[in-house]
Amino acid sequence: MPGLTIPVPFPGDVPTHPLLVIDFTLVQAGYPEELDRLWKAATELGFWYLKNHSLDDEVAKMFHVCAEALDLPLEEKMKFEQGDSGDSFGYKARGTIATDKTGTRDNVEFLNISQDDALSWPRVTHRTYPSIVNEHMEDTFVPFVRKSVDVNNTFLSFFEQRLGLPQGEFSRLHDPRRVNGGEARCIRTPPKQETTGVGAHTDFGSLAIVHNRLGGLQVMPPGTDQWLYIKPVPGYAVCNIGDTLAIFSAGILRSNVHRVMPPPGEQSQFPRYSITFFTRPDYEVVLRALRDQSPLIAEAAAKVPEGQYETGSTAGEWVARRIRNLRLKNREGWFGSQGTEHEGVKGR
């Protein structure tokens, strides 16, 4: 299957950023040293490698089925396009969002399958998908979503405990039984690209688990202005914190800026696929720093300008607004004046 195995290794001569490696089995077992390292990763860079996540089989199937789905004729995929009204689920065609302040069009396409639709299958919660997705809901999407939800719930329980929140608070805000924005995403970038794939951004939701075979993902470490590749390591996922956890924790959990560039060196000759799972809060949850529930968060919130982490919006509205603002059709007249939708949490 083209693009799914690693055709050529990641080059040794491009600048990379090391990530802490977190062993999921040790997190589950509550090893204090592993938990300390996870906390360090989540609060300093907001990114870490995850090993022993036991998602390998599910991820292999996802790469396979997603490649087939993205191979469908454009006309067929367009029947499921996410549109310009802020919906995330469905197909996103190439060239529909800007990757920089001048309005350069992106060159990635992706397919987002809602967590709710996978978990309620065959009942539709949000929308329908191409038939190849439906055919593989039970053997591919549902198991991938279930296991990914479990991994992220383990992280959420630990973060809420370390933040001093009441037990079960993050589980309550990310309750899979309520309607939420969680989704599985399959991305494809064509080979031989020279421009940015996914522009600089922070993630809209709470947590992401990214599975990469080819390079391309880059982070800008805090306090620098340099982009560095995150080297894909076979069997390791890359996890990162998104904006909604940064908001709930008044910035204690770090949502760091990242982007996707063409794979480096010889890898650029191949199409790039990536598979991500995003956990997002339930639609009805109001996004604000949870200062009244944790002295630690109250202390952090007191150090930033009043209202910085008070969005006044529910997660459903807030994420939809961020997505709407990305779509080029909604952005006429933006370029040159207002910048991009990529500057992180600024009370939007």
Ligand X SMILES: O=C(O)CCC(=O)C(=O)O
The residue ranges that bind Fe ion (CB under 5 A) are 203
Q: E-strand spans in 44-143?
A: 47-51, 90-92, 109-114
Asked if 184 interacts with ligand X (CB under 6 A), we say no
Q: Which of 27, 59, 142, 198 binds ligand X (CB under 6 A)?
A: 198
Q: Which residues contact 321 (CB under 8 A, 6 or more apart)?
A: 86, 313, 348
DSSP H or E stretch at residue 268: none
Three-state DSSP at 210 gives: strand
> Which neighbouring-strand residues pair with 180?
282
CB of 326 to ligand X, least distance (A): 11
Euclidean distance between the first and final Cα of the chain, in Å?
A: 41
Instruction: Tell me which of Fe ion, ligand X, none is bound by residue 210, counting a contact when its beta carbon lies within the kind-specific cut-off of 5 to 8 angstroms.
Output: ligand X
CB of 158 to ligand X, least distance (A): 22
Q: Which of 237, 260, 261, 289 binds ligand X (CB under 6 A)?
A: 260
Q: Which two tokens stand for residue 128?
A: 């329908």
Pick out residues in 217-246 that bind ligand X (CB under 6 A): 217
Between 72 and 208, name the residue whose CB sits nearer to Fe ion: 208
Asked if 196 interacts with ligand X (CB under 6 A), we say no
Cβ-contact 282, 179 below 8 angstroms:
yes
CB of 322 to Fe ion, least distance (A): 12
Cβ-contact 220, 229 below 8 angstroms:
no
CB of 243 to ligand X, least distance (A): 11
Q: Which residues contact 66 (CB under 8 A, 6 or more apart)?
A: 111, 186, 188, 273, 275
CB of 203 to Fe ion, least distance (A): 4
Q: Which of 58, 203, 243, 282 binds ligand X (CB under 6 A)?
A: 203
Asked if 187 interacts with ligand X (CB under 6 A), we say yes
Instruction: Tell me which of Fe ion, ligand X, none is bound by residue 260, counting a contact when its beta carbon lies within the kind-specific cut-off of 5 to 8 angstroms.
Output: ligand X
Cβ-contact 278, 242 below 8 angstroms:
yes
Between 244 and 274, name the residue whose CB sits nearer to ligand X: 274
Instruction: Tell me which of ligand X, Fe ion, none is bound by residue 185, counting a contact when its beta carbon lies within the kind-specific cut-off of 5 to 8 angstroms.
Output: ligand X
Q: Which of 107, 140, 180, 212 binds ligand X (CB under 6 A)?
A: 212
Q: Which of 276, 294, 311, 340 binds ligand X (CB under 6 A)?
A: 276
Q: Which two tokens stand for residue 293?
A: 């529930």
Asked if 62 interacts with ligand X (CB under 6 A), we say no
Match 């990529």 to its residue by tokens: 342
Query: Measuring CA to CA, which residue among 181, 189, 224 is closest to residue 206?
Result: 181
- Identify residue 273 by its one-letter amino acid code: Y
Asked if 148 interacts with ligand X (CB under 6 A), we say no
Cβ-contact 51, 24 below 8 angstroms:
yes
- Of the candidate spans 44-52, 70-78, 208-216, 305-313, the one that interacts with ligand X by CB under 6 A turns out to be 208-216
Asked if 279 interacts with ligand X (CB under 6 A), we say no
Q: Which residues contact 113 (CB under 8 A, 6 or more apart)?
A: 89, 129, 133, 141, 145, 183, 184, 185, 186
Between 145 and 217, name the residue whose CB sits nearer to Fe ion: 217
Asked if 186 interacts with ligand X (CB under 6 A), we say no
Which residue's C-beta sits nearest to Fe ion?
A: 203
Asked if 274 interacts with ligand X (CB under 6 A), we say yes
At residue 255, what are phi and psi to the nearest 5 degrees?
A: -100, 100
Burial of 73 (0-12, 13-18, 19+ CB in 10 A): exposed
The residues that touch ligand X, with contacts defined as CB under 6 A, are 185, 187, 198, 203, 210, 212, 216-217, 258, 260, 274, 276
